[in-house]
Chains A and B, each alone.
Chain A
Amino acid sequence: MKKLLLTSFGFFVTLCSLSAQQLDSTSQTPGTKKFFMPGAAVAMYQLNSTSGSPAIGSFMPVNLALFPLVKASDRLFLDAGLNFSVNPDGTVTPSLIELIAYYRINHWMSVFAGNFSPHYGVYLGLLDDYTNRFGVGVPPVGMGHGLQNENGVGIQGGVQAGYSKFTYQLYIANGPQLTVDSTTVGSSNQSGKLDYGSILDNNKNKSIGWHLGYLPFSNSCLELTFSGEYVGKTGPAGSALENVSALSWAVGLNYYHIFNPIMVRVIGEYDKIQVGNANYYNPDTSLKNHVYTFSNQQNGWFAGATLRAAGSRRQFLKNLELGGRVGEYTPPTGALWGSTPINQTTVALTEYVKWDIPVTLEYDILTQSGAPKQNILSAIIFFRF
């Protein structure tokens, strides 16, 4: 199998080299270094009404983000993102969004390295800041609990195949780390959860991640994706939990079309995380047996649609978009942090003041068996600069 793998890689590298030669013969001379740093700021007012409790409204400056982008040459590109989130006590916490160096090998492939957000499910970029047509007041429960930022290397690109188009990403990364907590009592105990984005790996094993996108129509109006990540070891090296594996996968759909004068968009995703069985320790002193295990599987889905009078002559109507979304997240019931499924219904009305400055009124209903119903109204302005 290893020989086959090496042969495949050899063939693959040869293909890349041939294509790189083609690129050299047609590409322009290297350009001068170019730098650009757009940014974004989000502020909102949120009214949270939980059954049995008084409704509480708060004005919230949510965060400020900066995106330094550097085109070092025709082939070399640096993509970074820094976030400054405002905490409930008013303090600011800086964090890294992404830090990726890309090198374009040929017409259809770039190699990248650094801290990146994998193309997973409906790519996070589709539901991020000004691209989010359902508001950013309450994140969709059906996504965001899976893959997060990774540290690693990979290849990606897009290729035309007749009338259709393919997009792909393949990477190797540090992978997620299994959370093991033997001291916290109750639902705050996160044992069995996967922690992503650590720059120091906890074992020698690396994760493999992939994304395959298929755009069957010539106008790229429909994209179907299948993506995932597998890691053979998530526990600390040398520990009894080292060999606990994890498989995450997701399918996504993004479709838009203008049925003049209305533009319709449909977005959906189903994702699943399967972590290997393991024994964990519950420190609760009231228990006789502290060792427990559970089926560590969780899944989520969401489906949403938007309508927009894109063909209207009135600018206000043309820039107004109505969105509706339903979703569900099912955590593992046996985990200390687990619970019954959470359902979400979202209605959002967005007016685009500029192409990248949406003002959104979002209403979310969160229901969960055994927990009070939550109604959350968010008024959000997203300012891209």
Chain B
Amino acid sequence: MKIKIKLLYILVSALIVSTAIMNACKTPEAISSKSGAQLWGENCNRCHNAPDPSTYGDDQWEVIVEHMRQKALLTDTEIAKVLDFMKTANKQ
């Protein structure tokens, strides 16, 4: 039980410390200025082929992107930009 509590404490502490560090880090311009198209290519290809935006409609993309937020643990910014790109590009 002691090992378990220690382990949990270490994990929670690590999470808190890393969170504090991450919050202190300012996102560089090169990251914050990335387009939805760029993030779509980079993040989708991590695990699978990047789908063509025309594959699905707006409502379907909303659900799929939310699904990928949880599966690939994408950040809020990535999700927002990729969704915006998909909903724009699927009409072109």
> Which of A's residues lie within 8 Å of B, judged by CB?
1-2, 4-5, 8-9, 11-12, 15, 31, 34-36, 69-71, 77, 79, 100, 102, 104, 107-108, 110, 112, 119, 125-126, 130-131, 156-163, 165-170, 208, 210, 212-213, 218-221, 223, 230, 232, 254, 256, 352, 355-356
Contact = CB atoms under 8 A, between A and B. Distances in A.
Interface string B14-48: 11101101100111101100000000001101111
A5 B7 contact: no
B48 A131 contact: yes
B42 A12 contact: no
Given A11-B16, A221-B42, A102 B8 contact: no
Nearest to A355: B49
B12 interface: yes
Contacts, number: 139
Nearest to B71: A125
B42 to A, nearest CB: 5
Chain A contact surface mostly = strand
Given A130-B48, A163-B30, A170-B11, A77 B5 contact: no
A31 B62 contact: yes
B12 A169 contact: no
Contact of A71 (B1, B11, B62): B62
A230 B7 contact: yes
Q: What interface size band does chain B fall in?
A: 35 or more
Contact of B42 (A5, A36, A100, A219): A219
Nearest to A156: B73
Contacts of B7: 208, 230
Nearest to A321: B49
A77 B70 contact: yes
Nearest to A112: B70
Nearest to B58: A34
B48 A158 contact: no
A107 B76 contact: yes
Given A8-B12, A36-B60, A125-B47, A232 B73 contact: no
B3 A232 contact: yes
Nearest to A158: B73
Chain B contact surface mostly = helix
Given A5-B9, A156-B70, A355 B15 contact: no
A206 B78 CA distance: 34
A156 B71 CA distance: 10
Interface string B55-79: 1000110111011011111111110
A77 B66 contact: yes
A69 B59 CA distance: 12
B22 A69 contact: no
Contacts of A107: 75-76
7 contacts: A4-B9, A5-B12, A9-B12, A12-B15, A71-B62, A218-B30, A218-B31
Contact of A163 (B3, B28, B63): B28
A166 B31 contact: no
Contact of A356 (B1, B46, B51, B69): B51
Nearest to A352: B49
A36 B64 contact: yes
Contacts of A165: 75
Given A8-B13, A36-B59, A210-B11, A256 B46 contact: yes
A198 B21 CA distance: 38
B27 A12 contact: no
Contact of A162 (B28, B45, B76): B28
Contacts of A219: 42
B3 to A, nearest CB: 7
A160 B75 contact: yes
B15 A170 contact: yes
A1 B16 contact: no
B82 to A, nearest CB: 12
B77 A160 contact: yes
Nearest to B8: A208
B4 interface: yes
Contacts of B46: 220-221, 223, 254, 256
Contacts of B4: 208, 230, 232
Contact of A355 (B8, B47, B51): B51
